[in-house]
């Protein structure tokens, strides 16, 4: 379901100082994430502005607010620019991602203010050559790659750079998430020059993602996570665990790097310190890393 739907158009520019209001309040109230007892609605909701199979498109200077679901989405698009946007929805509005990519390449998402109830920026399978820069994010769920590999699918994400961002009061920071049983890869990803302010779970790699009411079964396959760097990331964590890297037994994470990371516990009261946790995660650290790196050396595998 799409509200404003642009299909197969090349060279389109959407710009100006106007506002596109998705009027999502009634949709949010009826969803199962809000309404815990039947009847509730779990089906699809309209995306506010959706581009599909487009090339050379740009969206600039527009305000998007109160989307029923995702605010701005690109599917099977290339040569995309989304910049100088304001995306606004309440912190408890379900699935109101700011900018979402699917099967798209050569994308620039820059100079945006995003405050929503879900990911500020998200991308799923078959995205490549993506730059996310100068994003002010919060509240929201942070900046996410994934989820990948759901229902044993093959997903590929590569050559993504996220830098010069400010995350404030978000429930996650920068995150890579994949389901067990999938295939493909997430590789050559770089997160750098990022400031976190009172962010829960600032750095996450989760190859055991399971967003369903019943436990997910263990699987022997996984999306490969490789050549991922976190550099020059500083700020405060709202949770004791500032770094969480949980990788697959079958396909461990390799060639990871933590460089010049300084994440302290918000408030710092009681002498508590932020911690790091790693499982089947191999790589190296450089410079000062706080909390201390938990990455295993490559030859430890």
Angstrom distance (rounded) from CA 75 to CA 13? 17
141 is annotated as an active-site residue: yes
Angstrom distance (rounded) from CA 243 to CA 187? 19
Angstrom distance (rounded) from CA 28 to CA 207? 29
Angstrom distance (rounded) from CA 125 to CA 136? 24
Two structure tokens written together for 195 = 């400031």
- Do residues 186 and 205 lie in contact, with contact meaning Cβ atoms separated by under 8 Å? no
Closest-CA residue to 1 (of 22, 17, 26): 22
Query: Which of 50, 71, 100, 141 is labelled catalytic?
Result: 141
- From the DSSP assignment, how many helices (H) and strands (E) are in the chain? 1, 23
Buried/exposed 214-236: b ≥16 CB within 10 Å, e otherwise: eeeeebebbbbbbbbbbbbbebb
Which amino acids are annotated catalytic?
141
């Amino acid at each position: 379901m799409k509200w404003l739907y642009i299909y197969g158009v090349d060279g389109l520019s959407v710009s100006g100082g106007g506002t596109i209001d998705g009027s999502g309040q009634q949709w949010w109230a009826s969803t199962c994430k809000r309404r815990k007892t039947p009847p509730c609605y779990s089906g699809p909701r309209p995306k506010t502005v959706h581009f599909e199979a487009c090339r050379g498109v740009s969206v600039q200077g527009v305000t998007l607010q109160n989307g029923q679901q995702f605010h701005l989405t690109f599917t099977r698009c290339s040569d995309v620019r989304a910049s100088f946007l304001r995306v606004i929805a309440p912190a408890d509005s379900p699935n109101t991602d700011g900018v979402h990519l699917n099967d798209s390449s050569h994308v620039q998402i820059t100079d945006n203010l995003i405050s929503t109830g879900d990911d500020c920026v998200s991308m799923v399978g078959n995205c490549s050559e993506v730059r996310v820069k100068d994003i002010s994010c919060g509240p929201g769920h942070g900046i996410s790659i994934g989820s990948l590999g759901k229902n044993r699918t093959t997903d590929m994400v590569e050559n993504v750079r996220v830098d010069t961002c400010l995350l404030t009061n978000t429930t996650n920071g920068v995150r890579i998430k994949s389901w067990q049983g999938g295939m493909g890869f997430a590789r050559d990803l770089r997160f750098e020059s990022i400031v976190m302010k009172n962010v829960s779970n600032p750095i996450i790699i989760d190859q055991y993602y399971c967003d369903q009411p019943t436990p997910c079964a263990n699987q022997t396959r996984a999306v490969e996570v490789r050549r991922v760097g976190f550099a020059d990331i500083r700020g405060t964590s709202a949770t004791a665990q500032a770094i969480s890297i949980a990788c697959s037994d079958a396909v461990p994470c390799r060639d990871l790097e933590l460089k010049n990371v300084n994440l302290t516990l918000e408030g710092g009261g009681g002498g508590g310190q932020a911690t790091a946790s790693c499982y089947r995660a191999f790589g190296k650290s450089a410079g000062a890393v706080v909390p201390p790196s938990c990455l295993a050396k490559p030859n430890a595998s």
